[in-house]
Amino acid sequence: MENKTNPIEIRMGLREEYLPMLMEVEQACFSDPWTEAAFRSELSNNYSFYVLAFEGERIVGYVGGMSLYETCDINNVAVLPEMRRRGIASALLDRFFAEAKERGAQQVLLEVRAGNTAAIGLYEGYGFKPYGVRKNYYQNPAEDAVLMVVTLC
Ligand SMILES: CC(C)(COP(=O)(O)OP(=O)(O)OC[C@H]1O[C@@H](n2cnc3c(N)ncnc32)[C@H](O)[C@@H]1OP(=O)(O)O)[C@@H](O)C(=O)NCCC(=O)NCCS
């Protein structure tokens, strides 16, 4: 896929050398970002998998999750603010879903801030439906989580 300036390449797999760039994306995208230690622990988790979007050698977005038997969880999806609305998250999710199916997942679950209309719009486009709410699940700021699920066909 291409944006208006440089081509975007979608690659599978988290590597230790990617962690500093991944942290830049994380900190630019979330008020309560994951720590580098949290990402580092993902490197040795066989159930976790990451799909990364590169502009040249720079990471501009990622999706990470965990697939265990028939269920896959999306931990996070993030795209740098200046790179949004160019289909990068969609390209990441397309690849993520293909990998989840390869791993035997039959459904994908996630939680999202109730006021995150961009992410909810993205997920609805993939057929995710809400199935519950966790009150005050998030901090900084406190906010409910909407739980969403889609069945893979
Ligand atoms: C949510 C996020 C990952 C979307 O990334 P993106 O690369 O801009 O998404 P895409 O360009 O692939 O958008 C695909 C569709 O999602 C929906 N969408 C994306 N951003 C939207 C917005 N700001 N408002 C409404 N709908 C939006 C639209 O339906 C869009 O399709 P369209 O552009 O044809 O209308 C990005 O906004 C982001 O990183 N946000 C901060 C981190 C975050 O909240 N992550 C989710 C945590 S659960």
Question: Measured in angstroms, how far is the CA atom of residue 119 from the centroid of ligand 1?
Answer: 5
- Residue 4 backbone dihedrals phi, psi, to 5 degrees: -70, -20
Q: How far is CA 153 from CA 14, 25, 77, 105, in A?
A: 26, 31, 22, 10
Q: Mind listing the pLDDT tens digit for each residue in 2-37?
A: 445 689 999 999 999 999 999 999 999 999 999 999
111 is catalytic: yes
Nearest CA to ligand 1 atom 35: 85
- What is the reported pTM? 0.96
- Of 1.10.287.950, 3.40.50.1950, 3.40.50.410, 3.40.630.30, which CATH number belongs to 8-151? 3.40.630.30
